[in-house]
Amino acid sequence: MKLGVSLYSYTSEFGTTLTLDDCIEDVADLGASGLEILGEAHVENYPSPSTAWIDAWFARLSRWELTPTCYGSWVDTRRGRRPITVDEAVAQLETDIRLASTLGFAYVRPKLGVVTDDLEPDPVWEPATERVLDLAAEKNVIICPEIHWPSVIKSKVVDDYLAFIQRTGTSHFALLMDTGVFQTSMHRRTGGVASRMGDKGGRPPEVPVVPVSDLEDVLDHVCHVQAKFYEIDDDLQDHYIPWKEFLDLLTRRGWDGWLSSEYEGDYGVGRASDQLRRQHALIRTLSDVR
């Protein structure tokens, strides 16, 4: 296993107290070797960065000895308040696959719009993804939708993804596992700008605790892990994510991808840098990572 960091972790500090250079330096400084970004957040003038920006990107990777891991993308399925067409979804996926490849990424995570209360992805996902598999092969990237709380592993969504791999026989589609799925209790993020989800009184779903053992059946299809976490306390303990159990399983199975940290705890200047260091210290004491 290898340790990386997603720049998602620096949300609310990126652009306010940290530049892109600062974030990337911080990732290297804390000892990670993998770098994950969000295309729509971190690429200047997305989706068309200048060649100067691209040159600066590779200069940073070289200076800090970082490997680009996963590129986060979105397929916003209700832009302009109408459903997306397959052609539009294909165009969005192509844009991000090309850009991710230009920047050296191995994985592209498209976050898909949903059509039901229980987060069923928009059905465009299947024909649109199928149409970009050849491009993914040409560009040497793996498309990996994210299994993210409140989705669970044993679900129709995951079954459908695995059936897709089976049917197409592709090696350019796999799963991204977000460790928030295994949270044993719910963290309520504090700080930052107050926000709410709608004014219709809707509430996020209640989700049962997902045992780490649920990972066994799908691990062979997991190409990348987002090591989501919320808070590592002053004794270097995480009370939300069962790291030991999770890391022991990956180690026993010989899984050899990236653990890419995603800090999603309380907002506050300097918190991400501190919490990421705590998590990496914790992971390195629990497992043998490079």
Partner 1 sequence: MLDVPMIQTRGFRNSDGGFQVRLRLPYYRGVWTNLLEGVSLTVDGEEYAADTIGWTLAGTDYTLAELVGSDTARWPVDVPATLTVPRGEPLSIGFHTVAAELRLHMSYIPEELQPTIWSEERRLVITR
The answer to whether 148 is a known catalytic residue is yes
Query: Using CB under 8 A, which residues numbered 34 to 73 contact partner 1?
Result: 38, 40-41, 44-46, 72
Among 166, 200, 252, 256, binds partner 1 (CB under 8 A): 200
178 binds Mn ion (CB under 5 A): yes
Among 65, 206, 234, 256, binds partner 1 (CB under 8 A): 234
Catalytic residue among 42, 148, 224, 280: 148
Identity of the residue, 9 or 69, whose beta carbon is nearer to partner 1 in the bound complex: 9
168 binds partner 1 (CB under 8 A): no
C-beta of residue 261 within 8 angstroms of C-beta of residue 3: yes
Query: Which one of Mn ion, partner 1, a copy of itself, none interacts with residue 178, CB within 5 to 8 A by kind?
Result: Mn ion
Which residue in this structure is represented by tokens 């490079």? 290
**DSSP state at residue 254:** T
Query: What span, in angstroms and rounded, lies between the C-alpha atoms of 91 and 39?
Result: 15
Query: What span, in angstroms and rounded, lies between the C-alpha atoms of 80 and 99?
Result: 24
CA angle 244, 71, 28 (to 5 degrees): 60
162 binds partner 1 (CB under 8 A): no
Query: What span, in angstroms and rounded, lies between the C-alpha atoms of 136 and 93?
Result: 10
Query: What span, in angstroms and rounded, lies between the C-alpha atoms of 134 and 139?
Result: 9
Query: Which one of Mn ion, partner 1, a copy of itself, none interacts with residue 197, CB within 5 to 8 A by kind?
Result: partner 1
Q: Name the token pair of 223.
A: 């190409």
162 closest CA partner among 149, 181, 147, 148: 147
C-beta of residue 145 within 8 angstroms of C-beta of residue 121: yes
Q: Under the rule (CB under 8 A), what is the footprint of a copy of itself?
A: 16-17, 269
Reduced to 3 states, what is the DSSP secondary structure of residue 242? coil
202 binds partner 1 (CB under 8 A): yes
Q: Are strands 222-229 and 142-143 parallel, antiparallel or unpaired?
A: unpaired
190 binds partner 1 (CB under 8 A): no
Reduced to 3 states, what is the DSSP secondary structure of residue 162? helix
Query: What span, in angstroms and rounded, lies between the C-alpha atoms of 83 and 60?
Result: 39
DSSP code per residue over 68-95: EEEEEEEE-TTGGGSPPPHHHHHHHHHH
The site map against Mn ion for 189-228 (x = CB under 5 A) is: -------------------------------------x--
Identity of the residue, 98 or 211, whose beta carbon is nearer to partner 1 in the bound complex: 98
Write down the least CB distance from residue 269 to partner 1, Å: 7
Identity of the residue, 83 or 270, whose beta carbon is nearer to a copy of itself in the bound complex: 270
Stretch that binds partner 1, among 178-186, 194-202, 222-230, 237-245 (CB under 8 A): 194-202
Residue numbers at the binding site for partner 1 (CB under 8 A): 8, 11-12, 14-19, 22, 25-26, 29-31, 38, 40-41, 44-46, 72, 74-81, 111-114, 116-117, 119, 122, 192-200, 202, 204, 234, 236, 269-270, 273-274, 277-278, 280-281, 284-285
Q: Active-site residues: which are they?
A: 148
